[in-house]
Amino acid sequence: MAAGISPEYAYWFLRSAPIPNLLFGPIAGLITVFALPLHRRRPVAVTSLLCFMGIAGFYAMREFARLSPSVESGTVTWDEVLSYLDFFAVMAAAVGFVIVAVSARISVVVADSVKRAKRATFGDADWLSMSAAGKLFPPDGEIVIGERYRVDRETIRDVPFDPINPETWGSGGSAPLLTYKQDFDSTHMLFFAGSGGFKTTSNVVPTALRYTGPLICLDPSTEVAPMVVAHRTGKLGRECMVLDPTNPVAGFNVLDWIETSKHKEEDIVSVAHMLLSESARFESSTGSYFQNQAHNLLTGLLAHVVLSPEYEGRRNLRSLRLIVSEPEPSVLAMLREIQESSESAFIRETLGVFTNMTEQTFSGVYSTASKDTQWLSLDDYAALVCGCSFKSSDIVAGGKDVFLNIPAAILRSYPGIGRLIIGSLINAMTQANGAFKRRALFMLDEVDLLGYMRVLEEARDRGRKYGITLMLMYQSVGQLVRHFGKDGSTSWIDGCAFASYAAIKALETARDVSAQCGEMTVEVEGKSRNVGWSNSNSSNRKSESLSLQRRPLIMPHEITQQMRKDEQIVIVQGHDPIRCGRAIYFRRQDMDSDASANRFVKAAG
């Protein structure tokens, strides 16, 4: 190309040859990086850097080959020969390096959306660092909380999470785990995530694959047990009992723990509460009356079944159902006979009020008791709570797990099934009075289906010393409020070691989470410009000001609109809030290989 140019220009043309070779590639890479979305920039930036380093290395070797003979012959030293380096190559290499460095930086660094002030005038709330989170929740625990990385610091933060597209996962699946070792606070946990918020796949399944102690898992989706039982049986050495009404081969007598109790009457009252729909605590006074009387009726009849000698060998809920399925006149006659002949003052006094009750009132009470025990007439469901495959005390011994594969539709109609099974196992742990081998983890997915359970409140407040750990999954805070009331929901949050929030859609919940995270002080830069008709300098002036303002660490709309489904906020008392990833099992190779196939996930093609 320089053949047709004058010698003077040809000289400078050839001297400047390194400039396009060293600069055009980095400039093209920088322009491409600017044009691409943040999560697609890194490959281009890395390619640009490698190409630049290759070309720069070529020119470095060329200069070395050109100047080294002079040094070897002793004409000049290495210090002196540096002044003979190709100026154009050196400058082009320096500028090119700056360009590729800029490309690399804007492809990996995620900037803060606000500028935090150095002074904490209005507050200094901040997210807990990932190193501190790793100390609080080390990776060697058995209850999986999440993953130790900041999703909002990832280059894919603005890309919606797609479970079938690994390009949207970022560090998800490869980051270290955050796990809970049950070594502080009450050991109880609350998880809130909306429908389709990966509660089961990010907490229930991973924990079921790792927890080596007794596990009681409520699984209304009926997907967890088929995925984890083989692993827990084969690798963890657990004996898994799957309570499934579609295959009722396993079951236990939910009243067996009362036989060894020192307070049988009080425990019978507790079981009667679990049989009834306790949501009536918010109903009208009339409905509450019939509910309370139905509870008294069931308490007396259940006490008759458990304490009377004629029911020896038949002390189960089937016997109770046989009584409350009789016609009303027959039941009234039985009540009068029991009152006259029973040796137990508790039974006589509990049932005595019904013997002279008006027919209409008794009919309402009896229908309520019959309705809430109707499911005991279904053999497949009665077998779960009247079986003999194991005893509730086996949980205390530490060798068995229990999976409740009861579909959500059944629990919605008959929540007493789940309440009785879970309640009896909790009471068995309490009755052991601290003589347990391992802490029993009650991992209750979609616990809202159980309704109000006072036994859960008892376990929350006093369960730690009895080896009870609760891990409750709700779709929203509203579900908790609906069953336990506003004050009751506050007691739950106060009574748990931490609460996790993910996939939040309700603005009220987002406001509450935002308030819990606290506030920080930010710098706000203000600019103003005065424009006038005069040509004088004073009529066209600009001014800038810098002020400190209060701002939530995370605003409610950022929680509902900007947080991805694979990130969560964990609130732990005494620590800064934690913003981290979620340990979705199919993103982690070790968990995915341990878990069996999920029938709800269809294979591609």
Q: Tell me: the pLDDT tens digits for 251-263?
A: 999 999 998 888 8
Q: Tell me: the pLDDT tens digits for 202-252?
A: 999 999 999 999 999 999 989 999 999 999 999 999 999 999 998 888 899
pLDDT at 69: 84
pLDDT at 5: 62
pLDDT at 605: 33
Q: Retrieve residue 97's tokens.
A: 């390096």
Does pLDDT of 538 surpass 50?
yes
Does pLDDT of 68 surpass 50?
yes
577 and 475 together in one domain: yes
Domain of 204: which CATH number?
A: 3.40.50.300
408 and 552 together in one domain: yes
67 and 41 together in one domain: yes
262 and 247 together in one domain: no
Average pLDDT of the residues in 315-337: 91
Average pLDDT of the residues in 6-14: 60
Q: Hey, what long-range contacts does 408-413 have (CB within 8 A, 24 or more apart)?
A: 408/220, 408/221, 408/446, 408/449, 410/245, 410/375, 410/381, 411/220, 411/446, 411/449, 411/450, 412/449, 413/375
**552: three-class secondary structure by DSSP:** strand
Percent of the chain with pLDDT over 70: 92
Domain boundary among 50, 77, 108: 108
- Decide: 600 and 586 in contact? Cβ < 8 Å: no
CA distance 457 to 498: 16
581 and 433 together in one domain: yes
Domain boundary among 345, 379, 413: 379
Does pLDDT of 587 surpass 70?
yes
pLDDT at 282: 46
CA distance 233 to 228: 9
Number of domains in the chain: 3
Question: What is the pTM (predicted TM-score) of this model?
Answer: 0.85
pLDDT at 603: 44
447 and 567 together in one domain: yes
Establish if 537 belongs to a structural domain.
no
Average pLDDT of the residues in 274-278: 77
pLDDT at 21: 85
pLDDT at 287: 66
- Give the range of the structural domain holding residue 336, as residue numbers without chain letter: 256-379
pLDDT class for 358, splitting at 50, 70, 90?
Answer: confident
Establish if 118 belongs to a structural domain.
no
**297: three-class secondary structure by DSSP:** helix
Does pLDDT of 286 surpass 90?
no
103 and 138 together in one domain: no
For 19-28, 70-79, 241-250, 490-499, which range has the lowest pLDDT when averaged over its residues? 70-79
Average pLDDT, the chain: 87
